[in-house]
Amino acid sequence: MKPWTERPVEVRNLFNPAFCGLLLQRAIKGYEEVDPSGMPYSLTLLVLPLSLHSQARKKLDAHPKTRLLTILEKQQFLILGFDERARDLLPLAHEAFSVLASNHCIEVSTEGRIRSVPRRMRTAIDGSPESQECQKIAARLGKEFARIGDRATVYATLGVRP
């Protein structure tokens, strides 16, 4: 990974570790609304490739009451290239986790699940319209992953291996 100052401005803005951390935190909190035990690490790695991908966001936003698995089944084009996007965003997810951990926003349970630390993040979703959309989709993804309840199903649907 290149040093922060050597990255293009566009990359620094869109993939800012604090913003990516915010998206991960929103997903973790969403997951905890359904399953308070915390989000498995392997599922957190799927949040950025889905919430930062504009076509995926738009499809998820257009169908707020439709389950994630149903959307992915009907919109197969969203899965095309997902494995590559997930792989490319892995270092950025690690940077985001570093920001969250260093600011005491997350903790890892004895079972290895990631949980949010209460009152360490603003609850209001603000920012630009696109930023708000990313945050809302990340929170929805967390809830959907918890409702599905099986990591293997999520990974298989997206065409990737954990």
Structural domain for 42, as ranges: 4-158
Taking the C-alpha atoms of residue 94 and residue 72, their distance in angstroms, rounded to an integer, is 26
**One pLDDT digit (tens) per residue for the chain, 162 residues:** 667 677 777 767 778 898 999 999 999 999 999 999 999 999 999 999 999 999 999 988 888 889 999 998 888 888 888 999 999 999 999 999 999 999 999 999 988 899 999 887 777 788 888 889 999 999 999 999 999 989 999 999 888 876
The total of other beta-carbon atoms located within 10 Å of residue 65's CB is 4
The whole-number pLDDT of residue 1 equals 64
The whole-number pLDDT of residue 112 equals 87
Q: How far is CA 162 from the centre of its chain?
A: 15
Total-model pTM: 0.90
* Structural domains of the chain, count: 1
Q: Tell how many helices (H) and how many strands (E) occur in the chain.
A: 9, 3
CB 63 within 8 A of CB 71: yes
DSSP 49-91: HHHS-HHHHHHHHH-TTS-HHHHHHH-GGGTTTHHHHHHHHHH
Tens of pLDDT along 20-38?
Answer: 999 999 999 999 999 999 9
